[in-house]
A and B are shown apart, each in its own frame.
Chain A
Amino acid sequence: EVQLVESGGGLVQPGGSLRLSCTVSGFTFSSHWMRWVRQAPGKGPEWVANIKEDGTDSYYLGAVRGRFTISRDNAKNSLYLHMNNLRAEDTAVYYCARGRGHAMDLWGQGTMVTVSS
C-alpha cells in the first residue's frame, strides 16, 4: 500500500524551530521529486518547497526561503522540512506530496503546525 505519513507538527512560539518528517512506503522513494505543501486554516493549498530525487537540488517559496530547509534520506525513505524563525503566518497543515511532472499525485494526511505565543 502506498503511504505518506507526516509527523513532527505542534505548537511553537514565534521565532522558534520545528522539524517535520514524512515517511513513505509502497513506492520507490528515490525515483521521485518530493514536495511540501501547506494549507492555512480556511485557505487553499500553498506550495512550500521541492527537492530532487537525489537531494542535490531544491526550490522554495519566496516567503520561506532562508528560513526553511527541505532535505531527504533515501535510505530511510524519509523527507524532512526544517523550519526556523517561525512566524504566525506559517500556521498551517503541512503535507508532503510526491511529484509527478509539475503535479502532485500522492499526498500524506498532513501535520498541523501552530505558531503562537
Chain B
Amino acid sequence: QSVLTQPPSVSGAPGQRVTISCTGGWSSLGAGFDVHWYQQLPGAAPKLLIYDNDNRPSGVPDRFSGSKSGTSASLAITGLQAEDEADYYCQSLDRSLGAYVFGSGTTVTVL
C-alpha cells in the first residue's frame, strides 16, 4: 500500500486534457514537502517530468504541468498525444517513514 495514492488509470482522446491526482498525508505532502512526477514508458527507466511541484526539466514539453495544494498534487497533460501512453508516478518525502516515497502509479491510455 503506497503512502501516495493515485488513480490506477486515466484515458483521453488525442488532443484532450487529462489530469492525474496524487494524494498524500500530513507527514508527506501535508508537511510541505515538494512533489515530483515521473513518466515511465514500457520497458524503460522512469524519467523526471516535473520537479518541485511545478517545474519542468529542460526538454520536457510544456504540455506537462504540475501543481500542489495541501495534501494533494496534480499532473496535467494537455494536447494528449499517442506518445504520452505510459505509467506516471508522483514522489515525495515522508517525514514519519524517513524515506522517499512513490505513488501507486497511473497508466495513461490514449484512446
Which chain B residues numbered 9 to 47 have a C-beta less than 8 Å away from chain A?
A: 33-34, 36, 38, 44-47
By DSSP majority rule, is chain B's interface helix, strand, loop, or mixed?
A: strand
| Any B CB within 8 A of the CB of A59 | yes
By DSSP majority rule, is chain A's interface helix, strand, loop, or mixed?
A: strand
Partner of A107, one of B46, B93, B97, B103: B46
Contact A101 B34 (CB under 8 A): yes
Shortest distance between the CB of A58 and any CB in chain B (Å): 13
Could you tell me the distance between the alpha carbons of A45 and B102 in the complex, rounded to whole angstroms?
Answer: 6
A-side contacts of B33, CB under 8 Å: 102
Please tell me the size bucket of the interface on B.
Answer: 20 to 34
Partner of A44, one of B44, B48, B51, B102: B102
Please tell me the size bucket of the interface on A.
Answer: 20 to 34
- By beta carbon, the residue of chain B nearest A39 is B46
Could you tell me the distance between the alpha carbons of A62 and B101 in the complex, rounded to whole angstroms?
Answer: 12
The proximity string for A residues 14-52 relative to B, scoring 1 for CB distances below 8 Å and 0 otherwise, is: 000000000000000000000101000000111100100
Contact B46 A102 (CB under 8 A): no
Contact A100 B102 (CB under 8 A): no
Contact B38 A45 (CB under 8 A): yes
Partner of B51, one of A50, A61, A105: A105
